């Protein structure tokens, strides 16, 4: 293992101070500031959409019930631990390829390529549920309820949403950031109003079936361990997306520090949002209401009228719609930058690395992501009895995989620094490795649980459940493609692993002036 960092192909490294050189991919430098990083990280998780799409399924997991807040609390732990790993890896190497670039350096080109594929896989699969929700909630907003039950209408609307958000990403990172600030602002305000009104009515009006929040709801020790783990895969999904804040690092001010710090802060803010809204949602009518099949895939909409009443219930529809559309956009962003980075590292065809001369955005990567998303979304909506549940579960496998390897990469890359201080041992080694261990454990447990057809709504295909086909099958396909790619991209696959240059973390970081 080399003790001196080597830059990406074609980029030289010279003398002190110890640093890692990131290849210039043509992206617009210093285009967004810390606030935009934080907004993108939060918006990418789509809080309203994630709650609407996932809360009912979490509550329905055997043994969870009123302890959904506990599941979200425990699910937050590996997310925070991995976010710390992201921060320190980005501190060393602010490459838009994030996990692809970092695992290539630390773990070798084989795992690097496979992790790059996995990021793309997760993003493509989740686009089906995002665009499905965006389509359904568009019809709800304008009162076209019959269209919301038509697969043909949903497919048309989903394709339009993907196309519109692809165009916004194509037009530039600044436009993307401004759109995100507007969408996230509206979403968070509406969620806060919903939670406040729901809890006020529970304590003041005692709606039918309502239950007042209890401390035991937040205590994971009140649950069976196996039931807790089954719920965590869905809980992991609900937090996923904050890493988009890091994927735009090359377009950010304070590229080494700002995006990584935003990733950590966004996970903490998400925890607060989720716990408050979940407590309000399950308090209002009890968990039976949330697990009712008529409400399970549409929790916030189902609660909208009884909580807010009148026309104000449409605020929740707007919140979920803006959330899903915002996340559709911010799902395209990291995928396009991952594949752009892979092209810059000569791990995929160079054409994928083309940049628009005016907008300074990836062209082939962005438009390609939109096109592939449409190609996957249309058949998935057609064949799946529950596109929402199946895609959420399948995406969870990919999330656990590449987040977990990011934690491993952090410890391996900084391994020569671990014994230099107790803080380094904790923050560079123990913390990210603990996050990785939790996520890999959840992966294995979930593969067993969702491998049984009784735990999946859609019928199995050739005896294998759809989440396993999409999630684990997609990972295995990526492994095969990685082996084939070795024949065509020999320069990349001949790279040697690296470790952090000595003294890298002690180097001062130049901070640019505030830019929002």
Sign, CA torsion 41/43/48/52: negative
Tell whether 513 is covered by a domain.
Answer: no
Tell whether 509 is covered by a domain.
Answer: no
Helices (H), 309-362: 314-344
Confidence (pLDDT) at 196 = 93
d(CA 147, CA 393): 26
Domain count within the chain: 1
Whole-number average pLDDT of the chain? 84
Tell whether 433 is covered by a domain.
Answer: yes
Tell whether 29 is covered by a domain.
Answer: no
d(CA 215, CA 205): 21
Tell whether 428 is covered by a domain.
Answer: yes
Kindly report the number of other CB atoms within 10 A of residue 461's CB atom: 12
| CB neighbour list of residue 457: distance below 8 Å, 6 or more residues apart | 385, 386, 389, 390
Structure token pair of residue 311: 């026309």
Query: In the 8-state DSSP scheme, what is residue 252?
Result: B
Confidence (pLDDT) at 171 = 81
Helices (H), 61-205: 68-92, 99-107, 109-141, 151-170, 173-204
Whether 51 contacts 39, CB under 8 Å: no
d(CA 14, CA 180): 39
Radius of gyration of the chain (CA): 22
The distance from CA 279 to its chain's CA centroid, rounded to whole angstroms, is 23
Kindly report the number of other CB atoms within 10 A of residue 154's CB atom: 23
d(CA 178, CA 186): 13
Confidence (pLDDT) at 217 = 94
Confidence (pLDDT) at 335 = 86
Instruction: Supply the range of the domain harboring residue 91.
Output: 34-500
Confidence (pLDDT) at 516 = 33
Confidence (pLDDT) at 386 = 66
d(CA 106, CA 86): 13
CA distances in angstroms from 320 to 79, 205, 313, listed in the order given: 23, 26, 12
Confidence (pLDDT) at 511 = 42
The three-class DSSP label of residue 391 is helix
> HSE (CB half, 13 Å, CA atoms) of 4?
7
Tell whether 14 is covered by a domain.
Answer: no
Whether 289 contacts 69, CB under 8 Å: no
* CATH code of residue 227: 1.20.1740.10
The three-class DSSP label of residue 198 is helix
Q: 360 in the Ramachandran plot: left (φ > 0), alpha (ψ -120 to 50) or beta?
A: left
Is the peptide bond preceding residue 17 cis, with omega within 30 degrees of 0?
yes
d(CA 452, CA 481): 28
Tell whether 90 is covered by a domain.
Answer: yes
Spell out, as residue ranges, where the chain has pLDDT lower than 50.
1-18, 511-516
The pLDDT tens digits for 167-199 are: 888 887 776 677 777 777 888 888 899 899 999
d(CA 486, CA 110): 8
The pLDDT tens digits for 397-448 are: 999 999 999 999 999 999 999 999 999 999 999 999 999 999 999 899 889 8
The distance from CA 379 to its chain's CA centroid, rounded to whole angstroms, is 23
480-493 in b/e form (b: 16+ CB < 10 A) is eebeebeeebeebb
d(CA 128, CA 327): 12
Structure token pair of residue 138: 């568009």
Tell whether 153 is covered by a domain.
Answer: yes
Query: Which pTM does this prediction carry?
Result: 0.85
Structure token pair of residue 265: 């802060």
The distance from CA 135 to its chain's CA centroid, rounded to whole angstroms, is 20
Sign, CA torsion 47/53/57/59: positive
Whether 345 contacts 11, CB under 8 Å: no
| CB neighbour list of residue 54: distance below 8 Å, 6 or more residues apart | 234, 237, 238, 392
Helices (H), 384-426: 387-413, 422-424
Of 109, 453, 512, 59, the C-alpha closest to 293 is 59
The pLDDT tens digits for 73-105 are: 999 999 999 999 999 999 999 998 999 999 999
């Amino acid at each position: 293992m080399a003790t001196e960092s080597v830059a990406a192909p074609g980029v030289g490294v010279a003398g002190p101070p110890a640093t890692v050189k990131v290849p210039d991919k043509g992206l617009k430098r210093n285009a967004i500031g810390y606030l935009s990083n934080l907004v993108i990280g939060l918006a990418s998780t789509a809080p309203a959409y994630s709650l609407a799409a996932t809360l009912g399924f979490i509550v329905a997991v055997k043994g969870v019930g009123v302890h959904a807040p506990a599941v979200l609390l425990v699910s937050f732990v590996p997310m925070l631990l991995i976010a710390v790993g992201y921060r320190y890896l980005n501190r060393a190497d602010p490459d838009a390829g994030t996990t692809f670039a970092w695992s290539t350096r630390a773990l070798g080109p084989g795992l690097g390529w496979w992790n790059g594929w996995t990021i793309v896989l997760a993003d493509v699969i989740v686009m089906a549920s995002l665009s499905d929700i965006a389509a359904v909630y568009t019809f709800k907003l304008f009162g076209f309820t019959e269209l919301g039950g038509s697969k043909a209408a949903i497919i048309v609307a989903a394709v339009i949403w993907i196309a519109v958000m692809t165009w916004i990403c194509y037009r530039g990172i600044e436009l993307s950031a401004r759109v995100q600030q507007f969408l996230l602002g509206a979403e968070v305000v509406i969620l806060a109003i919903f939670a406040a009104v729901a809890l006020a009515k529970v304590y003041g009006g005692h709606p039918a079936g309502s239950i007042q929040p209890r401390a035991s709801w937040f205590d994971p020790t009140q649950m069976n361990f196996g039931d807790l783990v089954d719920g965590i895969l869905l809980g992991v999904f609900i937090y996923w997306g904050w890493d988009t804040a890091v994927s735009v690092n090359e377009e950010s001010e304070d590229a080494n520090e700002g995006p990584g710090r935003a990733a950590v802060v966004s996970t903490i803010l998400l925890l607060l949002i989720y716990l408050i809204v979940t407590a309000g949602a399950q308090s209002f009518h009890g968990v039976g209401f949330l697990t009712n099949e008529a409400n399970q895939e549409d929790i916030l909409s189902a609660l909208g009228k009884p909580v807010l009443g009148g026309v104000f219930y449409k605020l929740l529809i707007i919140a979920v719609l803006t959330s899903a559309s915002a996340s559709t956009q911010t799902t395209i962003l990291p995928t396009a930058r991952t594949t752009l980075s892979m092209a810059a590292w000569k791990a995929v065809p160079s054409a994928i690395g083309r940049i628009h001369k005016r907008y300074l955005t990836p062209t082939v990567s962005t438009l390609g992501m939109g096109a592939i998303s449409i190609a996957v979304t249309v058949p998935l909506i057609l064949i799946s009895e529950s596109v929402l549940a199946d895609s959420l579960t399948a995406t969870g496998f990919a999330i656990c995989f590449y987040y977990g390897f990011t934690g491993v990469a952090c410890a391996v890359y900084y391994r020569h620094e671990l014994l230099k201080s107790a803080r380094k041992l904790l923050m560079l080694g123990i913390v990210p490795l603990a996050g990785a261990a939790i996520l890999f454990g959840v992966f294995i447990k979930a593969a067993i649980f969702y491998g049984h057809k009784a735990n999946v709504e859609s019928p199995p295909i050739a005896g294998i459940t759809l989440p396993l086909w999409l999630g684990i099958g997609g990972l295995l396909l990526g492994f095969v493609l990685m082996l084939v790619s070795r024949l065509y991209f020999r320069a990349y696959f001949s790279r040697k692993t690296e470790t952090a240059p000595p003294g890298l973390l002690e180097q001062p970081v130049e901070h640019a002036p505030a830019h929002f």
